[in-house]
Structures are given as structure tokens and as C-alpha cells.
Amino acid sequence: MSLDAGMMPFGRYAHIVGWGKAIPDRVVTNDELAQIVDTSDEWIRTRTGIRQRHIAVDPNETTATLGAKAARAALDTANLPSSKVDMIICATSSPEHTFPATACIIQDLIGATNAGAFDLSAACSGFVYGLGMAKGLIASGQADNVLVIGAETLSRIVDWSDRNTCVLFGDGAGAVVVQASAVPGGILSTEMGCDGSGADVLILPAGGSKMPATLETVASGQHFVKMNGRAVFRFATRVMTDATRKVLDRAGLRVEDVDLVIPHQANERIIASSMRQLGLSEDKVFMNLQHYGNTSTASIPIALTEAIEQDRIKPHDKIVMVGFGAGLTWAGAAIEWGVPTERETSFWQTSQRTAAYNLARARSQLLRISRRLESSLVSEDGASLAERMSKRFGGRKPEEDAPPAEAEQELLEERSGEEEA
């Protein structure tokens, strides 16, 4: 599936105008992991490039709180109040619940009172799929401001006794604001693909409707990530190359035009091999997986934010974001960067936003309290407080106010007779 530059109706372009990240504090080094599983810093570094990862150890730090923090940072750089957001797309492989969507929890946390919100499940390709959705919503005039978030607490669904997987993943979140603009550029083209025949290659088997949670599924570790690493490796190198070629082609660009590729940060060798096949030199590829490991949907927006922090992006640069993941899925986007990356926020703007977030928190608390009160006033059989009071203390029951069935029927017949006359 694709949406190309040429398909933009009404001269509406989709630009990334805000960016941000949220990283948990706790760092887990390869040496630390070697104390819990049979591995070594040397093995992990040479096979993957990863040196450490960040883990959300505080139970109050969740996929939604990390996502909300990244979203606030993105809104800050965009200088956009959360009330102006039309849609929140949260790409995640570790949602807080099967439902409600983590995006809804983020909507509440940031007080985006005018936004729709949904989760996008395309594993590590999810963030780039989200960019494709944002571009579509903007191009069709359905939205002006879309928050696209990638947020993960994969540490909670990884088997910490399985060395094949636990060394790879990390927690974190990244977000962007995609905004409608009449200025040509922004997200030029996208590619979103899938090969479901590889669904079992990278999977969290239990907890869904096919294999609901039972004592057995828990005991046999079916609620943890399972992966055939070699199969993923072969697939990934192929699709990263193909997807990059496709989006460049659709945007009318050549490989030589690319200023920076921001690939999914899964494995240094996968990135190096696919970029070599494309003929792209190392200096045109951004990598930070050594610090964070594979943060799934969050890896590309975190990398984008750091590339900007390191002055690797300037207006009119041609950027490719490309990823792959469970599904098996892949996705790419070619972007012409459209806005300055240096941002100055005044004290007044920061205070205004802080006040708005505090207000949103208070509003949410009030709504929760009033909902709790409301349901405490209605008993399990659906009787309202007035009905229960009347039952307990006597007095007229509400149904006594209504005319008996026969009287009601007579009244109706009388009225229809009057109308006919």
C-alpha cells in the first residue's frame, strides 16, 4: 500500500513540525545481562551492536506514560497546544491492555480533548505505518494535526531467561507532530507492506483470543516474545533495501539524493548490510542502537529526535525512514524536511503549557470522580438512587407516575380519533 507525492489533493502537505522522546532512567549494560543469562558483552556487541538498553523499572512508568512524555516533548517543539491535536496514533507492540487503546490513555494524560485516538499494531514497522496514516488523514482533509507516537515497555513481555531475545530489546518512546501545510515537501511517499506467512517468526503467542491466558500458558512462558532470529535477519535485510528503493522511486528521488537514512534500530549488521546493498555510505545512516537496543516502534522517532539534537538534519534534506518487524511487516517513508530544527521556547509558552497539562489532569480526575459517583448511585440491578430510596423508605414508586397500560391505550385511541375528525 502506498500514498505518493503526486496523490496529494488540494495542495495539502504533511510536515513533521514537532519531535520528542522519553527514555527510562535505568540502564542495563551487556555485562549486567551476562549475570542473568549465558551471554557476554562481546557476543551481544559483535552480533547486534547493542551495548546497553534502558528499562522501565518503576511500575508507574508504563507504555502510556512514556508515550505521553514523548508526545508532550513533540508538542513543545511544535509549539502546539494539545487541544489542537485532531488524531493520536500510538504504534506499540506492548500496549497497556488489549483494550482500551494506549492512545486513549495518552489522550487523557496530555489533555488532547479534541482528538480521536487509536493504537496501530504493525510491530516495529508501526511508527512508519503511523506516518503513512497521518499523511493520508492530512491529505484527505480529515485532520490538520496528527500526533504519531511509538511507545514501548518491551521489558515486560520479554523472557529474561531467554538469551535469544532478552539481550535485544529496550524500553522508550518517541513522538512527532505531523501538520498540514500548503508548503510542498514533508512526507513525500510511503511504503507499507506485509507477509503474514511469517506471522510465527516473531510472535507473542498467548494472551489474545486464540490462546487466552490460562495457568498452562503462563507456566509454559507463552506470554513472552518468541523469535526465530535467523529468519528475521534474512527477511529484514531484503525488505529494508526494497522499501527504501520503492519510496525513493515514488518520490522521484535517487539514492544519491538522500541526506540521511533513519533505519529501525534493531541490529547494526542488518542496517550495514542493507545500506551497503543500496550503495549508501555510513555517514548517511543514523544509528543509536548501541545506547537503547531495539525499542520496536519507538526506535525511529527516538533516532529522529537524536539526529535533530546532533544537527544531522536541516531544511530541505531528503530523509528516508525504514523499518521491519513482526507480522512480518515492513514500511518506509521518504521525507523532505520542511522546518528549522532549532527551537526556542519562551518562559511564557512553557508556563502556559504546564498550566494546560495541570488543568487536563484536574479535568480527568473530576471526570473519574463523577463517573464513580454516578455508578455508586446506580445499583447492580440498574435501580437509581431515587428508586432504591423509595424501596427502602416507602413512598410512591416511579412507575406509579406512569398511566397503566390500558389507560395509555385508551388515551392513544382517543387522540387518533380527534386527529381523524
Tell me which residues are annotated as active site.
124, 264, 294
The reply to whether 90 sits near ligand COA by the rule CB under 6 A is no
Q: Could you give the CA distance from residue 377 to residue 279 in angstroms, rounded to a whole number? A: 68
Chosen residue from 51, 84, 198, 233 binding ligand COA by CB under 6 A: 233
Q: Could you give the CA distance from residue 182 to residue 189 in angstroms, rounded to a whole number? A: 17
The angle subtended at Cα 41 by Cα 39 and Cα 42, nearest 5°, is 95
The reply to whether 43 sits near ligand COA by the rule CB under 6 A is yes
The reply to whether 232 sits near ligand COA by the rule CB under 6 A is yes
Q: Could you give the CA distance from residue 136 to residue 142 in angstroms, rounded to a whole number? A: 8
Sign of CA dihedral 81, 86, 90, 91: negative
Closest approach of Cβ 294 to ligand COA, in Å? 5
Q: Which stretch binds ligand COA (CB under 6 A): 9-17, 148-156, 177-185, 228-236?
A: 228-236
Total chain residues near ligand COA (CB under 6 A): 20
The reply to whether 266 sits near ligand COA by the rule CB under 6 A is yes
Q: Give the Cβ contact number of residue 95 at 10 Å.
A: 22
Chosen residue from 230, 316, 392, 396 binding ligand COA by CB under 6 A: 230
Q: Could you give the CA distance from residue 2 to residue 332 in angstroms, rounded to a whole number? A: 10
Closer to ligand COA at the Cβ: 227 or 272? 227
Site for ligand COA in 105-144 (CB under 6 A): 124
Closer to ligand COA at the Cβ: 48 or 94? 48
Closest approach of Cβ 323 to ligand COA, in Å? 8
Q: Which stretch binds ligand COA (CB under 6 A): 64-72, 230-238, 254-262, 372-380?
A: 230-238
Q: Could you give the CA distance from residue 288 to residue 52 in angstroms, rounded to a whole number? A: 11
The conformation of residue 373, written as its DSSP 8-state character, comes to H
321 grid coordinates: 525512514
What ranges make up the beta strands (E) of 121-246?
145-152, 172-181, 186-194, 202-203, 226-227
**Site string (199-218) toward ligand COA, x via CB under 6 A:** ---x----------------
Chosen residue from 16, 30, 39, 353 binding ligand COA by CB under 6 A: 39
CB-facing half-sphere around the CA of 204: CA atoms within 13 A = 21
Q: Which stretch binds ligand COA (CB under 6 A): 37-45, 59-67, 335-343, 412-420?
A: 37-45
Q: Which stretch binds ligand COA (CB under 6 A): 19-27, 52-60, 164-172, 400-408?
A: 164-172
The reply to whether 294 sits near ligand COA by the rule CB under 6 A is yes
Using CB positions, name the residue nearest to ligand COA.
Answer: 229
The reply to whether 163 sits near ligand COA by the rule CB under 6 A is yes
Decide if 159 contacts 205 (C-beta within 8 A). no
Chosen residue from 107, 267, 295, 297 binding ligand COA by CB under 6 A: 267
Q: Could you give the CA distance from residue 303 to residue 265 in angstroms, rounded to a whole number? A: 8
Closer to ligand COA at the Cβ: 48 or 107? 48
* Environment class of 251 (CB within 10 Å of its CB; exposed 0-12, middle 13-18, buried 19+): buried
Q: Could you give the CA distance from residue 288 to residue 98 in angstroms, rounded to a whole number? A: 30
* DSSP string over 22-77: E--SEEEEHHHHTTTSS--HHHHHHHH---EEEE--STT--HHHHHHHHHHHHHHH
Backbone φ and ψ for 127, nearest 5 degrees, come out as: -65, -45
Q: Which stretch binds ligand COA (CB under 6 A): 222-230, 272-280, 393-401, 408-416?
A: 222-230
The reply to whether 325 sits near ligand COA by the rule CB under 6 A is yes
Q: Which stretch binds ligand COA (CB under 6 A): 17-25, 133-141, 162-170, 215-223?
A: 162-170
Decide if 291 contacts 165 (C-beta within 8 A). no
The reply to whether 167 sits near ligand COA by the rule CB under 6 A is yes
Chosen residue from 121, 164, 273, 364 binding ligand COA by CB under 6 A: 164
With H, G, I as helix, E, B as strand and everything else as coil, classify residue 14: strand
Closest approach of Cβ 157 to ligand COA, in Å? 13
232 grid coordinates: 528475521
Chosen residue from 26, 47, 84, 343 binding ligand COA by CB under 6 A: 47
List contacts with ligand COA (CB under 6 A): 39, 43-44, 47-48, 124, 163-164, 167-168, 202, 227, 229-230, 232-233, 266-267, 294, 325
